[in-house]
């Protein structure tokens, strides 16, 4: 697959990609050395989350990190985030041209071949593939795709930057990375860990911090 996104490119290897719901987590993880991360706050109005989104973006910039904002694309544009992450349903209701014109990167969720076709048509900066394993963090309408399906999708996408998500624990991270995926996105492996610093350090060792350039 030829990587010619309509949005600014990202490195093929985005490395460890924690997805968290507060600016406190963003600050901790940046301090721990993470350089790709996402602020994912669900189901609030823009005015309720704007201060948190703006603070997270400012921190991301301070650490020269790749901070993606989930869902709140207008706020991401307003506060000049590195990027935005959108789901399939969001694609229909989002002004993608506005994100592109503002120079933000775009990541898009997919769950199967058809959704990959739809995502590719938007020519995003990266494609997320999920959920790989059962997850307690988000209710999923489909079954987990498993490692075999993930590997098939990675092979199909060639040099397109990819992110695997869903049920990726410390124990499973190596097998996921062995598919050739460029990044592993995790929630509970870090936020529910008995020792989040140790978990983050181990995951950083396995997945890396991501490459500097695309």
Ligand X SMILES: Cc1ncsc1CCOP(=O)(O)O
Q: Which residues are annotated as a binding site?
A: 38-42, 70-71, 90, 109, 135-138, 167, 187-188
**Number of residues in contact with ligand X, rule: CB under 6 A?**
14
State the residue for tokens 């309509």: 6
Shortest spacing between CB 137 and ligand X, in angstroms = 3
Does 19 bind ligand LCLJCK34 (CB under 6 A)? Our answer is yes
Separation between Cα atoms, residue 54 and residue 188, nearest integer Å: 24
Among 87, 144, 180, 208, binds Mg ion (CB under 5 A): 87
Instruction: Name the residue whose CB lies closest to Mg ion.
Output: 87
- Quote the radius of gyration of the chain (alpha carbons, Å): 16
**How far, in Å, CA of 93 to CA of 22, rounded?**
25
Q: How far is CA 133 from the centre of its chain?
A: 16
Among 10, 30, 59, 71, binds ligand LCLJCK34 (CB under 6 A): 71
Which one among 131, 176, 177, 199 touches ligand X, defined by CB under 6 A? 131
Cis previous bond, 180, omega within 30:
no
Comparing CB distances to Mg ion, the nearer of 10 and 173 is: 10
By CB under 6 A, residue 153 contacts ligand X: no
- Please tell me whether residue 185 binds ligand LCLJCK34 under the rule CB under 6 A: yes
d(CA 26, CA 7): 24
Q: Which 81-110 positions form the footprint of ligand LCLJCK34 (CB under 6 A)?
A: 85-87, 90, 107, 109
Between residues 137 and 214, which has the closer beta carbon with respect to ligand X? 137
User: Which helix (H) or strand (E) is 74 found in, with range?
Assistant: helix 73-78
The answer to the question of residue 168 lying near ligand X (CB under 6 A) is yes
Give dist(CA 56, CA 149) in Å, integer: 34
Q: Identify the sign of the CA torsion 70, 18, 3, 152.
A: negative
CB of 133 to ligand X, least distance (A): 7
Token reading at 162: 């990819």
Residues 12/161, Cβ–Cβ less than 8 Å: yes
Residues forming the site for ligand LCLJCK34 (CB under 6 A):
19, 38, 40, 70-71, 85-87, 90, 107, 109, 128, 130, 138, 163, 165, 185
């Amino acid at each position: 697959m030829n990587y010619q996104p309509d949005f600014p490119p990202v490195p093929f290897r985005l490395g460890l990609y924690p997805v968290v719901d507060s600016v406190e987590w963003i600050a901790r993880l940046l301090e721990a050395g993470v350089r790709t991360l996402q602020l994912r706050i669900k189901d609030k109005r823009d005015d309720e989350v704007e201060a948190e989104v703006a603070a997270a973006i400012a921190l991301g910039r301070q650490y020269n990190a790749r901070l993606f904002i989930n869902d709140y694309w207008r706020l991401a544009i307003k506060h000049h985030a590195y990027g935005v992450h959108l789901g399939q349903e969001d694609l229909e209701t989002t002004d993608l041209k506005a994100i592109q014109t503002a120079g933000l990167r775009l990541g898009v969720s997919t769950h199967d071949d058809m959704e990959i076709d739809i995502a590719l048509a938007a020519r995003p900066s990266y494609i997320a593939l999920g959920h790989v394993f059962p997850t307690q963090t988000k209710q999923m309408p489909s079954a987990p795709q498993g490692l075999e399906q993930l590997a098939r999708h990675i092979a199909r996408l060639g040099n397109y930057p990819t992110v695997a998500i869903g049920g990726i624990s410390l124990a499973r991270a190596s097998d996921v990375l062995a598919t050739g995926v460029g990044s592993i996105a995790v929630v509970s492996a870090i936020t529910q860990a008995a020792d989040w610093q140790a978990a983050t350090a181990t995951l950083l060792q396995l997945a890396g911090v991501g490459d500097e350039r695309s």
